[in-house]
Chains A and B, each alone.
Chain A
Amino acid sequence: QSALTQPASVSGSPGQSITISCTGTSSDVGGYNHVSWYQQYPGKAPKLMIYEVSDRPSGVSNRFSGSKSGNTASLTISGLQAEDEADYYCNSYTRSYIYVFGTGTKVTVL
C-alpha cells in the first residue's frame, strides 16, 4: 500500500487560509469517506483534527475544515495562527481493516 501524496510544505501569513491536499486512489481516499487528519508537533504524538472527511472532534477549532473530491481530500486552515505551525498527516481506510497515512505536510506560518 503506497502512502497518500501530500505536499511537503505549505506556508502562509497570519490570518490567511491555506489548503493541504491528500491524493490517493479509488482504493482508498476515493473509495471511502473514511479520511482523517492529524496535527503533530515535534516530539509529540499526533492529534486528531478531522474525521470522516469533514467532521471535527469536540475541542478542535472551527478554523480547521475538511473536504474531498474524487481521489483527493483536503484540509483547510483559515485564519492561520502561529500555533498552527506543525506537521499534518492525512489517513485513509483502504480495505479489510487496513489503513494508510499521507506523506505529511509541514505548515509554516510566515
Chain B
Amino acid sequence: QVQLVQSGAEVKTPGASVKVSCKASGYTVTSYHMHWVRQAPGQGLEWMGIIKGSGGRTVYAQKFQGRVTMTTDTSTNTVYMELSSLRSEDTAVYYCGRELDAAYYFDCWGQGTAVTVSS
C-alpha cells in the first residue's frame, strides 16, 4: 500500500541545517509531486514548497526562499527537504505530502518529523 515514511526526530543548534527524508513505498516518487508542510508547536499548518515528480522543478514559499532545498533520489524513492540557517522559530513538526499532478490536494502524508532548534 502507499506509504510515506519520514526520518526521525532531530535536535539542532541555531545556525545549523537539517535534512529530513520522506521515503515512498507503493508508488514511484517521479509520478507524484511532493509537498512539505510544517507545524510549529500549538500552531497551524504552513505550506513550505513543492518538488515536482517529473523533472524535479521546485517552487518554494517566499518565506523560505534561500533557506530551503527540496531534492529527490530516484534510486531510493526518497524525497528530501533541507532547511538551513536554523533559528528557534523553525522548531516544528515537518510533514511531507504527495499530490498527483494537477490534483491540487494532498492525498497521503508522512508521519511527521519533529525538529527542535535550541542552543
Contact = CB atoms under 8 A, between A and B. Distances in A.
Interface residues of A, number: 26
A103 B109 CA distance: 19
Range for the number of chain B residues in contact with chain A: 20 to 34
Given A36-B104, A99-B35, A46 B62 contact: no
A96 B109 CA distance: 22
A100 to B, nearest CB: 6
Contacts, number: 62
Contact of A1 (B45, B62, B95, B112): B62
Given A3-B46, A89-B44, A97-B50, 7 more contacts: A46-B37, A48-B105, A52-B104, A91-B45, A91-B105, A101-B46, A104-B45
Contact of A99 (B44, B47, B52, B112): B47
Interface of B: 35, 37, 44-47, 50, 52, 59, 61-62, 95, 97, 103-107, 109-112
A51 to B, nearest CB: 4
